[in-house]
Chain A
Amino acid sequence: MSLKELFPAKYVTGFIFSLVLTVAALSVLYFDLSYQIGLSILIVTAFIQAGVQLVMFMHVGESEDKISIYTHTYYAVAMGLIIVIGTLFTMIWGYQ
């Protein structure tokens, strides 16, 4: 089997894109950025990379159930955010 068949473009692109995003996230350590900007870069790069994994590697949209699975994934992300942000709100920010 040829290399082109075993290493499809979609996966290679996804891999390289993930590496790029990782390096971009590292920038918060090597540049003198404010806390807000640094945190924003981390949030953006993390979520984009998670999306790359989801779409390009996990084939989230490939089956007949894609609407259910996408809905479920959005719901799960919302849940995760509610748990994290809700906890920080109630435990820390709410006291200031």
Chain B
Amino acid sequence: MKEYFSRFAIENADDPMIIGAQISIALVTIGIIVGLTYFKKWGYLWRTWLTTVDHKKIGIMYILAALLMLFRGGVDALLMRAQTAIPDNGLLDAQHYNEIFTTHGVIMILFMAMPFIIGLMNVVIPLQIGARDVAFPRLNAVSFWLFFIGAMLFNISFVIGGSPDAGWTAYFPLASNDYSHTVGMNYYAIAIQIAGIGTLMTGINFITTIMKMRAPGMTLMKMPMFTWSILITNLIIVFAFPVLTIALALMTMDRLFGTHFFSIDSGGMDMLWANLFWIWGHPEVYIVILPAFGIFSEIITTFAQRNLYGYKSMVFSMVAISALSFVVWTHHFYTMGHGVVVNGFFSITTMAIAVPTGVKIFNWLLTLWKGKIHFTVPMLYAMGFIPIFVIGGVTGVMLAMASADYQYHNTMFLVAHFHYVLIPGTVFGVLAGFTFWWPKIFGFSLSERIGKWAFWFIAISFNVTFFPLFISGLSGQARRMYTYSENAGFTIYNMISFVGALGLAFGFLLIVYNIYWSTRYAKRHLTEDPWNGRSLEWATHSPVPEYNFAIIPQVDSTEAFWDQKEHGKALFKGNIEPIHMPNNSGQPFIMSAIFFVFGFAMVFSMWIVAIISAIGIFACMWYRSFENDHGHYIPVEEIEATERKSGVIANED
């Protein structure tokens, strides 16, 4: 018995951090169960959140999960910076440090950035295109719960079995059983696989939604720029994620079934893993940056009060970026030994991809030119993004050159580069979007005052944290090393970086405080259009009713709502009719719970449990096939009552 259960133990189980985590997880879980029971909220939780197929609620859950994961990934970051701040520091040993930079990378990219973006996508897109929901609401719920279960599975590795420790890129042979014999890398392969299935479904869902459910009159070239960015992002998702699916499946087979895809013996090719991983991995970083570009387009036009300069070139540049993103991947492993032709080809394509991005930067600047600029919190993020992201971008062009990359590769220069594009790009983008669309979802705004303090702490601290790493990287500081000696000469840069990290932490805490403070003190229901917005999502009530629009809007231009306000062009014509909405369903949650059991069983090679739960998953699909659920209609009286309560009857013409 003891032997059976010992497989779930961590290798150095008496570590205070692990014990602390185990205790807190247990306490929080008990606290949640007790709290829900005491306040009799189980029914509410089930009906309103666990079974919802409403894109707005699903979006909120994604964003909440992303914020929690931001916290965990951030703690990882602080620990790393603290460890490297002092030479030969004893805070973290090598094994721990490896686990921490691995989980930091996986969590920040796959369980923080992706859900944050997908959450904003869920909340905003149907509203921006004048639709009532996404094309496949039930599938949307499945996407969320599969992501959630994947994230839970990944997080539990810390306390049951051991975290993955081969870097977020999991190169072979290090990631193979020979060199990573704990179950940590199994968690990596399986948790990301499950979450990835959810993301692929999101891709299919949103392409269909955007292509087929736009309001009448909204041609493709009249869509808001955020919608364009999301359409293109989802196209990348549809073609990139299957590659990851196979790569992770092959890794799982190597680790669990003794195959030789990436092994060093029996004909395996370890470099093939790097190749397949990056065929997915490079488009992935464009998946996380294009939505940020879309968000910044919305914010810059709103707060400069001008329409976007060069709409067509913005669209074409994003199409070009997405196409090029699939032919640059080898730049992540220039130094693995292939010849000049390969490295030359990919250097050229990688440098080329900077061009359409540059076009976008110039278009944003030209949008600002002669605009009436309001420095709200979202606008501050957009203004910070432009110069800081450009630094990241130009260092990317430096790295693009294969011969030079032999000097930069796997130094802190690379680490600084990608943080300089990810944080001012993706993180600023989602924080700005979060602040921008918050009032639409919740009916009150976040505090501008606290938000501005948070922005400045984050923007300045970010540069303090990462700029020194350019210098130390060029001086030779390698990445993914748990300590450096005094005479390497990197101490001063790492110490400055650590101070910056503390500032970043404080900035993020201010954001959390802002949420608390505003929820408690901010005035409710002041206006549905707090920012003087330009696109259709601002033409709804705040918070948005279940059906989004009582009457589907008729659109005539790129900025339909702005035209209604400025030129009196009516959006909502005709009468209210009964609205068809999908029913809630417990199946997505239940099927995902079974997926969790399946994933856990696979991680620990518990084959009987895995087979039974796999049958369970197919049983859910079989049941779904025979289901006769056709949704419900909201009667006209109910719609009219909701509209009246929210302040305005919808047919204003």
Our pick among A65, A83, A90, A91 for the contact of B243 (Cβ within 8 Å) is A83
User: How many residues in A have their beta carbons less than 8 Å from beta carbons of B?
Assistant: 15
**Chain A residues, CB < 8 A from B97:** none
Given contacts A86-B327, A87-B279, A91-B272, contact A76 B342 (CB under 8 A): no
Within 8 A of A (CB), among B211-269: 211-212, 235, 239, 243, 269
Shortest Cβ distance from B246 into A: residue: A83
Interface string of A82-96 (1 = CB under 8 A from B): 110011011100111
Interface string of B315-338 (1 = CB under 8 A from A): 000000000001101100000011
Contact A79 B326 (CB under 8 A): yes
Smallest CB–CB gap between B5 and chain A, Å?
A: 43
Interface string of A43-76 (1 = CB under 8 A from B): 0000000000000000000000100100000011
B404 at the A/B interface (Cβ < 8 Å)? no
**Chain A residues, CB < 8 A from B341:** 94
Bound form: Cα–Cα A30–B266 in Å: 32
Smallest CB–CB gap between A70 and chain B, Å?
A: 13
Given contacts A68-B211, A79-B239, contact A95 B339 (CB under 8 A): yes
Shortest Cβ distance from A80 into B: residue: B239
Smallest CB–CB gap between A63 and chain B, Å?
A: 11
Bound form: Cα–Cα A82–B330 in Å: 12
Bound form: Cα–Cα A83–B279 in Å: 7
Shortest Cβ distance from B211 into A: residue: A68
Given contacts A68-B211, A95-B338, contact A86 B239 (CB under 8 A): no
**Chain B residues, CB < 8 A from A79:** 239, 326
Contact B326 A90 (CB under 8 A): no
Smallest CB–CB gap between A90 and chain B, Å?
A: 5
**Chain B residues, CB < 8 A from A65:** 211-212
Interface of A is mostly: helix
**Chain B residues, CB < 8 A from A96:** 339
Bound form: Cα–Cα A43–B4 in Å: 53
Bound form: Cα–Cα A10–B239 in Å: 32
Interface of B is mostly: helix
B285 at the A/B interface (Cβ < 8 Å)? no
B275 at the A/B interface (Cβ < 8 Å)? yes
Bound form: Cα–Cα A78–B243 in Å: 14
Contact B342 A89 (CB under 8 A): yes
B593 at the A/B interface (Cβ < 8 Å)? no
B271 at the A/B interface (Cβ < 8 Å)? yes
Contact A91 B339 (CB under 8 A): no
Contact B339 A94 (CB under 8 A): yes
Interface string of B269-283 (1 = CB under 8 A from A): 101100110010000
Smallest CB–CB gap between B216 and chain A, Å?
A: 15
Smallest CB–CB gap between A54 and chain B, Å?
A: 18
Contact A91 B239 (CB under 8 A): no
Contact A94 B211 (CB under 8 A): no
Given contacts A82-B327, A83-B243, A95-B338, contact A90 B211 (CB under 8 A): no
Our pick among A75, A82, A90 for the contact of B342 (Cβ within 8 Å) is A90
Shortest Cβ distance from B278 into A: residue: A90
Our pick among B235, B271, B326 for the contact of A91 (Cβ within 8 Å) is B271
Interface string of B340-368 (1 = CB under 8 A from A): 01100100000000000000000000000
Smallest CB–CB gap between B301 and chain A, Å?
A: 27
Bound form: Cα–Cα A12–B95 in Å: 64
**Chain A residues, CB < 8 A from B212:** 65
Contact A91 B269 (CB under 8 A): yes
Smallest CB–CB gap between B515 and chain A, Å?
A: 40
Bound form: Cα–Cα A68–B210 in Å: 12
Contact A90 B327 (CB under 8 A): no
**Chain B residues, CB < 8 A from A82:** 326-327
Contact B279 A86 (CB under 8 A): yes
Smallest CB–CB gap between A95 and chain B, Å?
A: 6
**Chain A residues, CB < 8 A from B271:** 91
Bound form: Cα–Cα A68–B208 in Å: 10
Bound form: Cα–Cα A3–B506 in Å: 77
Q: Which of A65, A79, A90, A94 has the most CB of B within 10 A?
A: A90
Within 8 A of A (CB), among B264-318: 269, 271-272, 275-276, 279
Within 8 A of B (CB), among A7-66: 65
Given contacts A76-B239, A79-B239, A82-B327, contact A90 B275 (CB under 8 A): yes
Bound form: Cα–Cα A86–B279 in Å: 9
**Chain A residues, CB < 8 A from B338:** 90, 94-95
Shortest Cβ distance from A87 into B: residue: B275
Shortest Cβ distance from B346 into A: residue: A90
Shortest Cβ distance from B269 into A: residue: A91
Smallest CB–CB gap between B248 and chain A, Å?
A: 16
Smallest CB–CB gap between A73 and chain B, Å?
A: 12
Shortest Cβ distance from A68 into B: residue: B211
Shortest Cβ distance from B212 into A: residue: A65
Extra A-B contacts (8), CB below 8 Å, given A89-B342, A90-B338, A94-B342 = A65-B211, A82-B327, A87-B272, A87-B279, A90-B275, A90-B330, A90-B342, A94-B341
The contact sample of 22 A-B pairs, CB cut-off 8 A, is A65-B211, A75-B235, A79-B239, A79-B326, A82-B326, A83-B243, A83-B279, A86-B327, A86-B329, A87-B272, A89-B342, A90-B275, A90-B338, A91-B269, A91-B272, A91-B275, A94-B339, A94-B341, A94-B342, A95-B337, A95-B339, A96-B339
State the B residues within 8 Å of A (CB).
211-212, 235, 239, 243, 269, 271-272, 275-276, 279, 326-327, 329-330, 337-339, 341-342, 345
State the A residues within 8 Å of B (CB).
65, 68, 75-76, 79, 82-83, 86-87, 89-91, 94-96
- 6 residue pairs, one from A and one from B, having the closest CB atoms: A94-B342, A94-B338, A79-B239, A90-B330, A94-B339, A90-B342
